[in-house]
């Protein structure tokens, strides 16, 4: 086994009944700390770094359930997960892009989840998308980002390990075969958890890369549910029983930054 240079744990709780969330007052306190913590946030886990708790992860419950003024429609739901430090500062977000993943899945006759990751202080969106791999086992999720130091776009791949008990992945850089990090799911833990280990010093020191990896790990709790929804949504589109719409949050991600011309 390679030497671990930095370790994180994303610990998924079995229930939402934890000190961080019990009672309205605690939720109001979290909302006062960050505008990114909305009233419908459901805290479902904690983030640890080197065995010390450093933050929490929460899901937007109404968005996940597809709740609106017109009622609730699960097929219109999408995953929005945000992480916060123990002091309440926003650490990052990962959002499912339903319109894009439905279009890609429909055209490819496959299930191709799509996400966007946002990191505070980093002005670019980071798209994380599943690659189509006909007749191959295990999913592959790819992403790149603009490295402001090198002016380059390094390519990274989350590669799913097959024939394992949990949700286990490797993080690979470009075409390299040596993993810079691993994500190991612990299915025997009561609520589930993902152990994230970085083996590369440079990768471990890269805040954008570590935040993307942590947000990806936080998403994995719902990955199977997301793929099941995509299958059902695509079938509904094929039958003419479902049309694509984007809520305000998802629609904002498609805004043209150059729409206003002086």
Per residue in 115-133, pLDDT tens?
A: 999 999 999 999 999 998 8
Average pLDDT of the segment spanning 230-238 = 97
Beta strand 71-72 with 80-85 is: unpaired
Q: Using CA atoms, how far apart are residues 34 and 55, in angstroms rounded to an integer? A: 13
Say if residue 54's pLDDT is above 80.
yes
Q: Using CA atoms, how far apart are residues 139 and 112, in angstroms rounded to an integer? A: 9
E strand map for the chain: 6-12, 41-49, 52-60, 67-68, 71-72, 80-85, 90-96, 114-118, 126-130, 140-144, 155-160, 169-173, 179-186, 193-198
Q: Using CA atoms, how far apart are residues 135 and 141, in angstroms rounded to an integer? A: 16
Say if residue 134's pLDDT is above 90.
no
Average pLDDT of the segment spanning 55-59 = 95
Average pLDDT of the segment spanning 201-218 = 97
pLDDT band at 14 (very low <50, low <70, confident <90, very high): low
Question: What percent of the chain is modeled with pLDDT above 90?
Answer: 74
Query: Which pLDDT value is given to residue 114?
Result: 98
Query: Which pLDDT value is given to residue 43?
Result: 92
Query: Which pLDDT value is given to residue 19?
Result: 56
Q: Using CA atoms, how far apart are residues 37 and 196, in angstroms rounded to an integer? A: 24
Average pLDDT of the segment spanning 41-56 = 94
Nearest Cα to Cα of residue 91 among 51, 118, 109, 63: 118
**C-alpha distance from residue 242 to each of 130, 203, 234, 239 (Å):** 23, 42, 8, 8
Query: Which pLDDT value is given to residue 20?
Result: 58
List of residues 6+ apart from 116 with CB closer than 8 A: 94, 95, 97, 125, 126, 127, 128, 253
Six token digits for residue 244: 């694509």
**C-alpha distance from residue 68 to each of 77, 127, 182, 207, 236 (Å):** 10, 26, 38, 35, 20
Query: Which pLDDT value is given to residue 196?
Result: 98
Tokens 């709740």 belong to which residue? Answer: 67
Say if residue 241's pLDDT is above 80.
yes
Q: Using CA atoms, how far apart are residues 212 and 95, in angstroms rounded to an integer? A: 12
Minimum mean pLDDT range among 175-184, 195-204, 252-261 = 252-261
On the 0-12 / 13-18 / 19+ scale of CB atoms within 10 A, 228 is exposed
Beta strand 140-144 with 193-198 is: unpaired
Say if residue 17's pLDDT is above 70.
no
Six token digits for residue 189: 């833990």
Say if residue 255's pLDDT is above 70.
yes
Q: Using CA atoms, how far apart are residues 131 and 138, in angstroms rounded to an integer? A: 11
Say if residue 156's pLDDT is above 70.
yes
Mean pLDDT of the chain: 91
pTM comes to 0.93
Q: Using CA atoms, how far apart are residues 5 and 204, in angstroms rounded to an integer? A: 7
Say if residue 261's pLDDT is above 90.
no
Average pLDDT of the segment spanning 121-149 = 92
Angle, CA of 55, 63 and 21, to the nearest 5°:
35
pLDDT band at 80 (very low <50, low <70, confident <90, very high): very high
């Amino acid at each position: 086994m390679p030497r671990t240079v930095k370790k994180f744990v994303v610990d998924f709780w079995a229930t939402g009944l934890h000190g961080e969330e019990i009672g309205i007052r605690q939720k109001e306190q979290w909302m006062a700390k960050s505008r990114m913590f909305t009233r419908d946030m459901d805290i479902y886990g904690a983030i640890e770094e080197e065995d010390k708790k450093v933050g929490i992860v929460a899901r937007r419950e109404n968005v996940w359930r597809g709740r609106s003024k017109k009622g609730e429609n699960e097929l219109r739901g999408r995953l929005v997960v945000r992480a916060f430090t123990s002091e309440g500062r926003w650490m990052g977000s990962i959002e499912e892009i339903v319109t894009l993943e439905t279009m890609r899945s429909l055209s490819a006759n496959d299930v191709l989840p799509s996400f966007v990751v946002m990191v505070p202080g980093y002005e670019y969106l980071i798209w994380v998308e599943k690659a189509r791999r006909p007749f191959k086992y295990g999913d592959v999720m790819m992403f790149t980002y603009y490295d402001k130091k090198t002016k380059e776009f390094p390519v990274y791949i989350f590669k799913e390990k097959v024939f394992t008990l949990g949700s286990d992945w490797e993080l690979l850089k470009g075409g390299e075969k040596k993993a810079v990090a691993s994500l190991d799911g612990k299915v025997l833990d009561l609520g589930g958890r993902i152990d994230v280990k970085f083996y590369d010093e440079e990768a471990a020191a890269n805040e954008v890369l570590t935040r993307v990896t942590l947000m990806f790990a936080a998403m994995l709790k719902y990955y199977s549910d997301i793929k099941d929804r995509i299958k059902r949504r695509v079938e509904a589109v094929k039958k003419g029983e479902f049309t694509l719409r984007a809520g305000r949050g998802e629609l904002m991600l498609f805004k043209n930054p150059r729409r206003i011309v002086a």
